[in-house]
Chains A and B, each alone.
Chain A
Amino acid sequence: MSDTGAPDVSDENPLLRVEGLQKHFQINEGLISSLLRATMGKEADYVHAVDGVSFELERGETLGLAGESGCGKTTTGMSLVKLHEPTDGRIEFRGMDLTESDDEELDEFRQNAQMIFQDPFESLNPRMTVYDTLAEPLRIHDIENETARIRRALEFAELQPPDHYFDQYPHELSGGQRQRVAIARALVLDPDFIVADEPVSMLDVSLRAGVLSLMERMTEEFNLSVVYISHDLSLLRHMCDRLAIMYMGEIVEKGATEDIIENPQHPYTRSLINAVPVPDPDVGRERVELAGEVGDAIDVPSGCRFHGRCSEYIGDICETDSPSLEQKAEFDDDREVSCHLYDSCGKQS
């Protein structure tokens, strides 16, 4: 964490730039089904988990990824920290292309990008003590002052006194404490970028506020760029500067959080916002349950992927032309929507 040179590169580029990210999973892998496929001359089937996602994330900025279950939020998040090799597309971290990074660059990236997982009962090794869990990243990167750093990270995560937790195993901790340990582990390397995948959804409701405020503090004090993943829009509204709404592996709308929540434009965003209970009483909205099921994104619908469930279906164009995510003439904020309802302000019709 101490290369002093070349702030020029990192200041011109956003911290993270994602361009056309795709991640497809082959289904029916394995010998028998591939033999069957070969004899019957069929193509392999793919789940289009992430299918062309682009966005930028500035230093210190927080971005929320929202969408129904299975729309590819986790897959996107995991690709961002290089847990998945993208099928296509580019991810640049401080101007460095992750798909073509050498060992040294990758090592640098591994020190600076961390992930917090949904289930604190699964994200800590049951056979490792808290101390060893936090020491692991430090040892991997040969960072000194192990104990002092661990102590500091645990204190920051409000696990006090830290020494008391050193020899505890995960099963001796409560869910909230575990998630705090997981957060401390992510912070102990002093990263710049964190992906938080549903960080509180497995926690008891009474514990959520505490963990969320810890994460706010963490974003603040570490000047972190964070991608929050959640299906809970009220949580994202609270935590994020910007929002991106995903549907079937694509971003359908993105922009500043308040713009999107107060004034959603994509029909999918609207139904998503109406589907969640809005805590604010003077935002009187009728609640609409999302009708229909998201497919598993194997046979992706032609045209707009949402057309089968869309309440504002306007005709053939929805089924034939796939809309591109772009700024529309109707809106003067920097929102981007992919929907045929609005006029492109760019070149195409």
Chain B
Amino acid sequence: MATQDKSSIFADIDEGEVDQEDENVDRWRRNLRLWRETLAKQWRMLTDDLMVRLAMITIAFFMIVAVFAPFIAPRGPLTRQYEGDAGIIIADWVEPSFLSSESEYLLGTTAEGFDIFSQLVYGSRAALLVGLVAAVFTAGIGTLVGLTAGYYGGKIDDTLMRIVDFLYGMPLLPTVIILVALMGPSLWNILFAIIVLQWRSTARVIRSQALSLRERPFVKAAQVAGASDWHIISRHLAPNVLPLSFLYGAFAIAWAILAEAGVSFIGLGDPNTVSWGTMLQSSRAYSALDFGAWWWFIPPGICIGLVVISGFLIGRGYEEITNPELR
């Protein structure tokens, strides 16, 4: 190229007349600082709302309980507290200690002789595991699929969206139940089934965002500058859909916990893990309601409700940040 007839305003820079060593901005430090500022700002906006703050405290509380479960729970969740004749389960459950002075169990025991309070504490592990893993994966897969479909369009989009449409034809709970029945009742299978069905809504929303983002001039400008597809997806599309992914992730926590409880409730839960859903299931199996043993099923019910509502509230609060029209 004919550089000779062209006097570049960058000429002296290229000839090294500018002392560039200490001139160059430290890229990593700068990026770190920008990230911190962005996160801090979003965090402030999010925690501005009292309901969101309460919801976060609730989730944080259950997280602490889940992590320190062995120290909080006085007994093992699946340790039988007394043996019946010939080891057969007997239905002589113990009332909570606040109802009967003889009882040494805070929330009494189940008909199988397990300590309800300990089960409740350990149950938070299953709930949060299911909720958080499902959230990360549904948001992650959904975002990736949505960005790919929306950015590339055409056949790729058609194929991916047909899969999403197909998944939309399947109701969440019944399909998870069938999948778990086929694969065997374990917490991981339940999680897997939930994730398989749940990424669809994230994918669809992110795709429509990506479809409109890719037509925006700032994406065109990056293409003109020679940016690769991956560069555009990761630097231009992803940061702009991230709030939405987060939003769907927060909702996914709630849906996943509900689904796990539902599957466990009808007896397809993991027999080796205690979850709030399996607690409800066994209380029903032993007709706790008929015997008036409300301390068996009310506490897990409340816990499910609290975590699920918290998930929705956080999602909702985030929705208001990302979509100012909802304010």
Q: Per-position contact with A for B139-171: 1 when CB-CB < 8 Å, else 0?
A: 000000000000000000010000000000000
Q: How far is the CB of B168 from chain A (nearest CB, A)?
A: 16
Q: Per-position contact with A for B14-30: 1 when CB-CB < 8 Å, else 0?
A: 10001010011100001
Determine the distance from Cα of A229 to Cα of B227 in the docked complex, in whole angstroms. 24
Q: Which residues of A contact B20 (CB under 8 A)?
A: 144-145, 147-148
Name which residue of chain B comes closest to A4, CB basis: B3
- B225 lies within 8 A of A189 (CB): yes
- B2 lies within 8 A of A117 (CB): no
> Which listed residue, A111, A122, A127, A141, touches B239 by the CB 8 Å rule?
A127
> Which listed residue, B4, B13, B224, touches A81 by the CB 8 Å rule?
B224
Name which residue of chain A comes closest to B231, CB basis: A140
Given A131-B25, A166-B25, verify A140-B227 contact (CB < 8 Å).
Answer: yes
Q: Which residues of B contact A141 (CB under 8 A)?
A: 225-226
- A125 lies within 8 A of B8 (CB): no
- A122 lies within 8 A of B2 (CB): no
> Which listed residue, B18, B30, B158, B218, touches A123 by the CB 8 Å rule?
B218
Determine the distance from Cα of A332 to Cα of B235 in the docked complex, in whole angstroms. 54
Determine the distance from Cα of A128 to Cα of B2 in the docked complex, in whole angstroms. 34
Q: How far is the CB of B309 from chain A (nearest CB, A)?
A: 31
Q: Which residues of A contact B158 (CB under 8 A)?
A: 31
Interface residue tally on B, bucketed by range = 35 or more
Q: Which residues of B contact A129 (CB under 8 A)?
A: 34
Name which residue of chain B comes closest to A156, CB basis: B9
Name which residue of chain B comes closest to A116, CB basis: B221
- B3 lies within 8 A of A83 (CB): no
- A182 lies within 8 A of B221 (CB): yes
Q: Per-position contact with B for A118-158: 1 when CB-CB < 8 Å, else 0?
A: 11001111111101000011001100111111001000100
- B217 lies within 8 A of A119 (CB): yes
Q: Which residues of B contact A147 (CB under 8 A)?
A: 20, 23-25
Q: How far is the CB of A147 from chain B (nearest CB, A)?
A: 5
- A94 lies within 8 A of B1 (CB): yes
Q: Which residues of A contact B236 (CB under 8 A)?
A: 125
Determine the distance from Cα of A223 to Cα of B217 in the docked complex, in whole angstroms. 25
Q: How far is the CB of B280 from chain A (nearest CB, A)?
A: 44
Determine the distance from Cα of A141 to Cα of B226 in the docked complex, in whole angstroms. 8
- A115 lies within 8 A of B224 (CB): yes
A283 at interface (Cβ–Cβ under 8 A)? no
Given A145-B18, A147-B25, A152-B13, verify A140-B5 contact (CB < 8 Å).
Answer: no
Q: Which residues of A contact B231 (CB under 8 A)?
A: 140
Determine the distance from Cα of A241 to Cα of B173 in the docked complex, in whole angstroms. 69
Q: How far is the CB of B92 from chain A (nearest CB, A)?
A: 63
Name which residue of chain A comes closest to B228, CB basis: A140
B223 at interface (Cβ–Cβ under 8 A)? yes
Interface residues of A in 218-256 (CB under 8 A from B): 221-223
- B227 lies within 8 A of A136 (CB): yes
A3 at interface (Cβ–Cβ under 8 A)? yes
Q: Which residues of A contact B24 (CB under 8 A)?
A: 145-148
Name which residue of chain A comes closest to B220, CB basis: A83
Q: Which residues of B contact A223 (CB under 8 A)?
A: 5-7
- B14 lies within 8 A of A145 (CB): yes
- B18 lies within 8 A of A1 (CB): no
- Which of A31, A148, A156 has the most CB atoms of chain B within a 10 A radius of its CB? A148
B44 at interface (Cβ–Cβ under 8 A)? no
Name which residue of chain A comes closest to B26, CB basis: A147
- A113 lies within 8 A of B224 (CB): yes
- B221 lies within 8 A of A3 (CB): no
- B34 lies within 8 A of A1 (CB): no
Q: How far is the CB of A155 from chain B (nearest CB, A)?
A: 9
A190 at interface (Cβ–Cβ under 8 A)? yes
Determine the distance from Cα of A327 to Cα of B179 in the docked complex, in whole angstroms. 74
Given A4-B3, A31-B158, A167-B34, verify A221-B9 contact (CB < 8 Å).
Answer: yes
B71 at interface (Cβ–Cβ under 8 A)? no
Q: Which residues of B contact A83 (CB under 8 A)?
A: 220, 223-224
- A190 lies within 8 A of B217 (CB): no
- A1 lies within 8 A of B221 (CB): no
B240 at interface (Cβ–Cβ under 8 A)? yes
Q: How far is the CB of B244 from chain A (nearest CB, A)?
A: 13
Q: How far is the CB of B243 from chain A (nearest CB, A)?
A: 10
Name which residue of chain B comes closest to A140, CB basis: B226
B216 at interface (Cβ–Cβ under 8 A)? yes
> Which listed residue, A59, A114, A222, touches B224 by the CB 8 Å rule?
A114
B222 at interface (Cβ–Cβ under 8 A)? yes
Q: How far is the CB of A143 from chain B (nearest CB, A)?
A: 9
Determine the distance from Cα of A189 to Cα of B224 in the docked complex, in whole angstroms. 11
Give 24 CB contacts A-B under 8 Å.
A1-B8, A2-B14, A78-B220, A82-B224, A107-B226, A110-B224, A112-B1, A114-B224, A115-B221, A115-B224, A123-B218, A125-B222, A125-B239, A125-B240, A127-B240, A136-B225, A140-B226, A141-B225, A148-B23, A148-B24, A152-B9, A156-B9, A192-B1, A192-B6
5 shortest interchain CB distances as A-B pairs? A110-B226, A137-B225, A123-B217, A117-B217, A125-B218
In the complex, besides A125-B236, A222-B6, 18 extra interface pairs with C-beta distance below 8 angstroms are A7-B2, A7-B4, A78-B220, A110-B226, A113-B224, A117-B217, A117-B221, A118-B217, A131-B25, A146-B25, A147-B24, A148-B23, A148-B24, A149-B10, A152-B9, A185-B225, A189-B225, A221-B7
